[in-house]
Amino acid sequence: MQISKYLKNNPRNKFLIVSKSDKVPINQILDKINDNTLGFCIIKIKSKYKILTDGDFRRKSIKDENFIKKNSKEIKFKKIVTIESNETMYKAFRKITKNQITCILVKKNSKIYSYLTLHEIAESLSPERLNLNKENLNKFEIDTKKHLVRYNFANLFIKTGMNVLDAACGSGYGSNILSKKAKSVISLDYSWPAIKFAKENFKSKKINFIKTNIMNFKFKRKFDAIISVETLEHLNKEHGLKWLQNCYKNLNKNGIFICSSPLLRIRNNKPFITNPHHLHELKKSELFLHLKRIFKTRNVNAFIQETDNLKPLTNETEGLCIFVIKKTQ
């Protein structure tokens, strides 16, 4: 697919800090990173473009505790990488991976006018979503079956009359499973094509599909259960923890939180992430620590998936896990 066609179908929100001064405060840039949930901020100072990612911020803050107090003139930015809009998404993928960056700026007639992220480029070339409808729901491959197993497992904890939230519902097949027992299911996803597909294929008075950013969801009522299948690894670390905290806030007392996430693999003493869609994976010990702290409990029930079944997590340090937590306070 040509980049210009992709951008036409996926318009950008305001993503720039435009400044006449070359002394943009770092805390202003950080606020923009936190607000846009992209994991980076693009700054245009006069006619020059610069990028600061949340990863850059973490690394620089560790080395310099006064980094937050500095301005853009006092720090060194990474080299900007650009691509013309008449090039293909595949070429953008090759360029972004070659330069080991997470964002590439797009030019049109030699002028920068947009951007592409590694995550969305990878998604366009090899979609991670499963577009299952009621007709093909039982005609799936092994990899698809793994996803259905997770929702069927989560549904074991759903009781008749529960109000359920499906956070990052994708194309809606999981919400359809949950609706069999739940009183109502509110299903959120940031992708309009996914929500549109879900509305067309899983029509139900019980399900309300909503296009929204799952980071900051808030409703008048809280939920009896919040389900989220493989969401955490698609968020950077800061956004992931913020999202978990928001799930806790929106859960009723004695409510159930169920999420699945792969455990970080280590190879040669280094993190080993092979899925280009994953922004951040956590080690087993780190993930348990965050879940116990945020949900204020010592009881985190964990299960590991083996193709089409799940068993209690014991000594495994790798694999796809499902966590079940009851909010007790």
Closest CA relative to residue 188, chosen from 210, 207, 161? 210
Looking at domain 142-326, its CATH superfamily turns out to be: Vaccinia Virus protein VP39 (3.40.50.150)
pLDDT in tens, 157-168: 999 999 999 998
Neighbour count for residue 168 (Cβ, 10 Å): 22
Whether the per-residue pLDDT at 16 is higher than 60: the answer is yes
Neighbour count for residue 294 (Cβ, 10 Å): 18
Neighbour count for residue 248 (Cβ, 10 Å): 17
Whether the per-residue pLDDT at 55 is higher than 50: the answer is yes
The model's pTM: 0.59
When comparing pLDDT for 162 and 49, which is higher? 162
Radius of gyration, CA atoms only, the chain: 21
**What are the residue boundaries of the structural domains of the chain, listed by start?**
3-125, 142-326
What is the average pLDDT score of the chain?
A: 81
Closest CA relative to residue 317, chosen from 286, 275, 291, 293? 286
Instruction: Please state which CATH class domain 3-125 belongs to.
Output: alpha beta
pLDDT in tens, 86-116: 998 888 877 877 777 778 889 888 888 888 8
